[in-house]
Amino acid sequence: MATSDYLIQDLVEKYGRERTSLMPILQEVVQQKNYLSDQDMTEIAKELDLSAAQVFGTATFYSFLDTEPRGKYVIRVCKTITCDMHGKKLIIQTLEDMLKIKVGETTPNKKFTLLETNCLGWCHEGPAMLINEKPFSGLTLERIHDIISEYMHK
């Protein structure tokens, strides 16, 4: 718990207590902890003099500001049309098989979370996905195997 408090304090120092700092703070908490816990959100609310419901409202608006626990590596596969046309389904199936989880789930070792997302801006090289912030495009089954194996050993 103590560490969590320090993180928020540090971020508040860094970004300030204005409401305009809310997004950067939320983003950095997610980057460091993979999700926003209720304690973190209340702490942020307190520091920025907002109500907890306001922080929750902002956080839940954004797809990347997760409010439930996520794995260390969050995989977001694009499901929008061009990726869909170019074999996104197969990519998802492969990922599900490799990670032994379904879309929306996190592996028991908390390493991977598999999600779908909307267009990532790699339509010309679909199917595409993000692992945390890193994009991967031109996905094939072999590439998925390579990428995931690499991450499994990270």
Interacting residue ranges for ligand FES, rule: CB under 6 A? 78, 80-83, 119-123, 126, 128
Q: How many CB atoms lie within 10 A of CB 25?
A: 25
Distance of alpha carbon 29 from alpha carbon 9, whole angstroms: 11
Least distance from other proteins to the Cβ atom of residue 128, Å:
10
The residue length of the chain stands at 154
Pairing of strands 73-78, 134-136: unpaired
95 binds, among other proteins, ligand FES, none (CB under 5 to 8 A by kind): none
Strands (E), the chain: 73-78, 112-117, 129-131, 134-136
Among 12, 45, 98, 152, binds other proteins (CB under 8 A): 45
Q: How many CB atoms lie within 10 A of CB 16?
A: 13
Least distance from ligand FES to the Cβ atom of residue 133, Å:
15
Token digits of residue 55:
């922080």
Backbone Cα Rg of the chain: 17
**Of 3-11, 26-34, 89-97, 145-153: span binding other proteins (CB under 8 A):** 26-34
Rank residues 50 and 127 by Cβ distance to ligand FES and give the closer one. 127
Among 6, 9, 14, 57, binds other proteins (CB under 8 A): 57
Among 81, 89, 97, 146, binds other proteins (CB under 8 A): 81
- For residue 119, give the DSSP letter: -
Q: Which residues bind other proteins (CB under 8 A)?
A: 18-24, 26-27, 30, 38, 41-43, 45-46, 48, 50-58, 60-65, 67, 79-82, 84-85, 117-126, 130, 133-135
